[in-house]
Amino acid sequence: MRRKTLHLVPLLLTVLVALAAWAAWLGWDQHRDVHPDGSETGPYEAWQVIGLVLTLLVSVYWAASRRHVASAVVGTSAGLTAAVLYDWSDDSSGLYVVGAGMVMVGSLLVTSAVAGLIAAVTRNGRRGEPARTREA
> Could you read off the pLDDT of 24-56 as tens digits, one per residue?
999 887 777 777 887 777 788 889 999 999 999
pLDDT of residue 126: 56
Which structural domain, as residue segments, surrounds residue 67?
2-127
Would residue 133 count as lying in a domain? no
In a domain, 135, yes or no: no
Lowest model confidence (mean pLDDT) among 10-24, 31-45, 104-118, 122-136: 122-136
Q: How many domains does the chain have?
A: 1
Residue 121 lies in a domain: yes
| 83 domain residue, yes or no | yes
Omega cis (within 30) before 43: yes
- Residue 134 in any domain: the answer is no
Around 57, how many Cα atoms within 13 Å sit in the side-chain half-sphere?
9
104: CB partners within 8 A, 6+ apart: 77, 80, 81
How much is the pTM?
A: 0.81
Does 118 have pLDDT greater than 80?
yes
Determine, yes or no, domain membership for 45: yes
pLDDT digits (tens, 9 = 90+) for 68-113: 999 999 999 999 999 999 998 888 888 899 999 999 999 999 999 9
- The answer, yes or no, to whether residue 128 has pLDDT greater than 80, is no
Report, as an integer, the average pLDDT of 13-21.
97
Report d(CA 54, CA 132) in Å as an integer.
31
The per-residue pLDDT for 45 is 87
Instruction: State residue 132's pLDDT score.
Output: 55
Residue 40: its H or E element: strand 40-41
Does residue 15 lie within any of the structural domains?
A: yes
**Is residue 129 over pLDDT 80?**
no
